[in-house]
Amino acid sequence: MFIAQDLRKKNIAEYILYMWQVEDIIRAYDCNLTKIRREYIEKFDNSREEKEEMADWYGNLIRMMNQEGCREKGHLQINNILIRDLNELHQQLLQSSQFPFYNAEYYRVLPFVVELRNKSDKEACEIETCLNALYGTIMLKLQKKEISTETNHAIKEISTFMGMLSDYYLEDKTKGLKFE
């Protein structure tokens, strides 16, 4: 919860990836708040008050997951809305001539995105495809599975691109980007 709050302010792509991980943690505990409290939250070195805040936060997420039908798979609407917002900003940046470095980075990463979309969810927008690739790589690393040199290269490019988009997102939210 505290990590999520910090990431939301600093890097929206990392925040989304973190929230996807939280969704998976909740699923791993069968969407059971009692188990999450006892087996997960209690392991943190936080005050009793902070642990109660965490339990409330996880409880709210569990409630939303149940209501939104993403108890077993999928993502919370709050996370999907952020992806939509990121994708809208992405489109604005591409359509503007004011962001040539962003455009250059996009075209550098586009072949990877096309390849990934052809292998997976063709309905996902480019930004969600990038996030799926990053999240998948995180999961592979957590499982200590080998990642090919080609995949590492693609992920590095995608990560740079998503970092740039996240920076523009933050700038747009704090100062407001001016588009032609």
Per-residue confidence (pLDDT) for residue 77, from 0 to 100 = 96
Q: pTM here? A: 0.92
Residue 155 has pLDDT above 80, yes or no: yes
Give the position of tokens 């599975």: 145
- pLDDT computed for residue 168 by the predictor: 97
* 124/28: higher pLDDT: 28
Burial class (CB in 10 A: 0-12, 13-18, 19+), 84: middle
Whether 12 and 59 have beta carbons less than 8 Å apart is answered as no
Give residue 119's pLDDT: 85
Both tokens of 90, joined, read 């992405």
- Looking at this protein, which amino acid is placed at residue 135? Y
| Mean pLDDT on 37-59 | 95
- Give yes or no for a contact between 69 and 37, defined as CB atoms under 8 angstroms apart: no
pLDDT tens-digit profile of 55-96?
Answer: 999 999 999 999 999 999 999 999 999 999 999 999 999 999
Which residues are CB-neighbours of 173 under 8 A, at least 6 positions away?
A: none
Mind listing the pLDDT tens digit for each residue in 86-145? 999 999 999 999 999 999 999 999 999 999 888 886 788 999 999 999 999 999 999 999
In the chain, % helix, strand, coil (3-state, to 5) comes to 75, 0, 25
What is the distance in angstroms between the CA of the first residue and the CA of the last residue of the chain? Answer: 38
Kindly state the helix (H) or strand (E) to which residue 176 belongs, with its residue range. Answer: none
Confidence of residue 20 (pLDDT cuts 50, 70, 90): very high
Residue 42 per-residue DSSP state: G
Query: How far apart are the C-alpha atoms of 115 and 55, rounded to whole Å?
Result: 40
